[in-house]
Amino acid sequence: MLTDRKIEERQARKQRILQGALEVFREKSVENATMDEIAQQAGFGKSTLYYYFPSKDEVFTAIMVEGWEQLWLSIEDIIHSDYPPKETFLKILKKLAEIVDNERARFEFLFNAARMLSKDTEKPAWKAYQERLYATLLSILKDGIAAGQFTNLKPELMLQAIGGIFHQMVFTRTDRGEVTESEIEDVVTRLLLNLSEPAPH
C-alpha cells in the first residue's frame, strides 16, 4: 500500500515529466519531439519516463486532459450559483482568463493543439472536457438571449467570435495586469453590437 508521501512523490515526478514535455513540445512540436528529449528535459532517465508514460502520445494526452479538466472544474461553483445568464457568462470568462493568464505558455499550447487536431482523428480523452465547457457556455448564451440579456444572434456564431476575442485578449496582453470582469463585459458588448449591425451594402 502506498503511503501519502509515496503518492506525493509519484505525482511530483509525473508533473516534472509533463512540464518537461510541454517545453519540448512547444520548442520542437509534438511530431518532432522524442522521448529521449522529454526525459532529458524532465531530468529523469528514460526508464522513469516509460514507467509513467509508455509513449509520447500518452504524455501529450496527459497534458491535454489535465489542462482541459482544470478549466472545466474551475467553473463548477459559478455554474451552480444563482447569477443571471449574462453575469454567469462573464464570471466564467473571467475565471478562465485568470487560470490561463497564470500559465500562458501551457494554455496557449493547449488551445493551439486543440485547433490543429484533425477532424478525422479518433476523439481523444481530453475532448470530452472541451466539449462540455463549450456546451455549457453555449447553453448560457441561449438562456441569456431568451432573457433579453444578449443580442438575439445565432449563439454558435457568438461563441465562436467571443472565443477569438478572448484568446486575443489573454494571450496578447503585454501589461500582465489582471483581466477584469468589466473589461470582459465591455469587449463582449462591443463585439455583440458589431455582430448585430447589418453589413454595409
Q: How confident is the model over 88-115, as pLDDT tens digits?
A: 999 999 999 889 888 888 999 998 888 7
pLDDT at res. 201: 44
DSSP per position, the chain: ---HHHHHHHHHHHHHHHHHHHHHHHHH-TTT--HHHHHHHHT--HHHHHHH-SSHHHHHHHHHHHHHHHHHHHTHHHHTS---HHHHHHHHHHHHHHHHHHTHHHHHHHHHHHHHS-TTSPPPTTHHHHHHHHHHHHHHHHHHHHTTSS-SS-HHHHHHHHHHHHHHHHHS-SS-PPPPHHHHHHHHHHHHHHHHSPPP-
Of the two residues 188 and 13, the one the predictor is more confident about is 13
pLDDT at res. 124: 84
pLDDT band at residue 54 using 50, 70 and 90 as cut-offs = very high
pLDDT at res. 51: 95
